Amino acid sequence: MNVLITGGTGHLGRLIVQRALAAGHAVRIASRRTQPSTALDGASWATVDLGAGLGLREALEDIDAIVHAASDPRNAEVADIKGTRLLAEAARDAGVSHLLFVSIVGIDRIPFPYYQHKFEAERILVDSGVPHSILRAAQFHSFIDLLLRSASRLPLIFPVPSGFHVQSVATEEVAERIAGALADGPRGMLPDYAGPEPMTLDEAATAWKAARGVRKPTFKLPTFGKTAAGFRAGHNTAPDGERGSVTWREWLDHPGARYVG
Ligand X SMILES: NC(=O)c1ccc[n+]([C@@H]2O[C@H](COP(=O)([O-])OP(=O)(O)OC[C@H]3O[C@@H](n4cnc5c(N)ncnc54)[C@H](OP(=O)(O)O)[C@@H]3O)[C@@H](O)[C@H]2O)c1
**Applying CB under 6 A, which of residues 19, 25, 27, 31 lies at the interface with ligand X?**
31
Give yes or no for residue 122 binding ligand X (CB under 6 A).
no
| Sole binder of ligand X in the list 71, 84, 236, 237 (CB under 6 A) | 71
Tell me the CB-side half-sphere exposure of residue 53, using CA atoms within 13 A.
Answer: 8
Our finding on whether 83 is near ligand X (CB under 6 A) is yes
Q: Which region, judged by CB under 6 A, interacts with ligand X, from 29-37, 126-134, 214-222, 233-241? A: 29-37
- Name 65's Cβ contacts closer than 8 Å, sequence gap at least 6: 1, 2, 3, 4, 96, 97, 98, 99, 100, 182
Find the residue with minimal CB distance to ligand X.
10
Residue span binding ligand X (CB under 6 A) among the ranges 46-54, 150-158, 207-215, 245-253:
46-54
What is d(CA 171, CA 168) in angstroms, rounded to the nearest whole number? 9
10: contact with ligand X by CB under 6 A:
yes
- Based on the shown chain and the rule CB under 6 A, indicate whether residue 133 belongs to the binding site for ligand X: no
Q: How far is the CB of 172 from ligand X (least distance, A)?
A: 12
Phi, psi (degrees; rounded to nearest 5) at 117:
-70, -40
What helix, strand, coil percent values describe the chain, rounded to 5? 40, 20, 40
Burial class (CB in 10 A: 0-12, 13-18, 19+), 173: buried
- Shortest spacing between CB 136 and ligand X, in angstroms: 7
Q: Is 247 in the site for ligand X (CB under 6 A)?
A: no
Is beta strand 199-200 parallel, antiparallel or unpaired with respect to 165-166? antiparallel
Does position 228 interact with ligand X (CB under 6 A)? The reply is no
Of 3, 11, 27, 98, the residue at the interface with ligand X (CB under 6 A) is 11
Interface residue with ligand X among 9, 133, 236, 247 (CB under 6 A) is 9
Q: Should residue 140 be labelled a site residue for ligand X when binding is judged by CB under 6 A?
A: yes
Task: Using CB under 6 A, count the residues that bind ligand X.
Answer: 27
Long-range CB contacts (within 8 A, 24+) of 151-158: 151/205, 152/209, 152/212, 152/214, 152/216, 156/216, 157/216, 157/217, 157/218, 157/219, 158/205, 158/209, 158/214, 158/216, 158/217, 158/218, 158/219
Contact flag: residue 119 with ligand X (CB under 6 A): no
Stretch that binds ligand X, among 3-11, 37-45, 200-208, 225-233 (CB under 6 A): 3-11
Q: Which of residues 161-220 bind ligand X (CB under 6 A)?
A: none
Candidate list 17, 25, 59, 72; residue touching ligand X; CB under 6 A: 72
Pair 141, 171: CB distance under 8 Å? yes
Of 139, 137, 111, residue with least CA distance to 199: 139
What is the binding site for ligand X (CB under 6 A)? Answer: 6-7, 9-13, 31-33, 48-51, 69-72, 79, 83, 102, 104, 118, 137, 139-140, 143
